[in-house]
Structure 1
Amino acid sequence: MEPTRRGLMLVLSSPSGAGKTTLARRLIEAEPGVVPSISCTTRKQRKGEVEGRDYYFLDRDTFARMRDSGEFLEWALVFDNFYGTPREPVERALAEGRDVLFDVDWQGAESLRDEKKGDVVSVFILPPSGEALERRLNERAQDSPDVVEARMRGASNEIQHWHHYDYVVINHDLDQALTALRAILAAERLRASRLAGLKDFVQNLLAEL
């Protein structure tokens, strides 16, 4: 009987505007078996966002109750809003051999590593330049100029944590960055430590020789 694979947690982080959300969406479209981790947040729902697809939108009291009862793998306060990853659906997916994709900041990535170190594969997405990052934030037209300015200030703090990640991808071009992410995923799926029953498989194989 061939080995079965435990799922992995592919964690993407970047400063806002560097492209991680777009890359996450395209990776899910390109890779069967990759499912998104749907986070909970207390921020306002943006135009076009769908409850249960993009986020679970919670009030602060509900979020605090879930946090205090241990229902999040990680949680963080980002730009005056709380974000958290529900524990149960992630653990179920990993046990079923599915890979779970996370779009989180450096704080969330650190918490996930602390909680599930052996399951986490972390990738930091860098913009090609500060100018490109500011242009992308303005082109999104989702935030006010004051928020864009705050996100640019926060980008420096976020980028300083790049060296804690397993991989770094510079997002010059979305197609090239996606190819790099798929290569990382393919390699990590073959890691021997993720294959349950590998030792028995090899022993049986040797016995046949």
Structure 2
Amino acid sequence: MSNSSDIEVPEFTQADVIRITRVSAKTLQNWTDPSREILRLSQGSVGKGRRRLYSALDIMAVTMIAHLSALGVSPNLVSQLFYKPEAKVGDWLTTAAENLDKEYICRIVFDADGLFASLIASPEDNERFAYGDDWARDRMAFIQVSLTRIASFVAHGIDDIRFDETPDDQKSEKEKAIRTLRDELLKDKKRAKLP
């Protein structure tokens, strides 16, 4: 993913989101229900008979919510990280998507007031969090999520969709060879029952 304007353009269907994230259609519809206020889409509200479209940033949010939900964190709590006025996770995901060669980690801290997030983008940030902030010492339970891995995961899923949509006569031999090798690696991984 190259720039933030591309990341925020709603161009992917619900089927694309399900294919990339493996979230069920029912769960996705539940999360995008405006009355639930879990996921606010880049497209805004759609009228009856109109297709809902998702941006790459929306897909990254779905991925993060699904990941944290699997760890037992309520989707409603996770959505606070995106939509509270002081929340920055959406901006951090955008930065991670634009810089896939650098590691961005979101440390999510739990306490009685809810969830709080901080960005770790360097060893200095990690040191500051671990040793320098009273805020961090008072709240010890936390989860770390690699925003770079989420952005990379979504970018690869989008690449797969675009590759599949490209007619065979327009695919380069290099792209076909890479795809074949990747598919072989995935088969080996499944056979070995690796995660």
TM-score, reference length from structure 2: 0.26
More helix by share: 2
More strand by share: 1
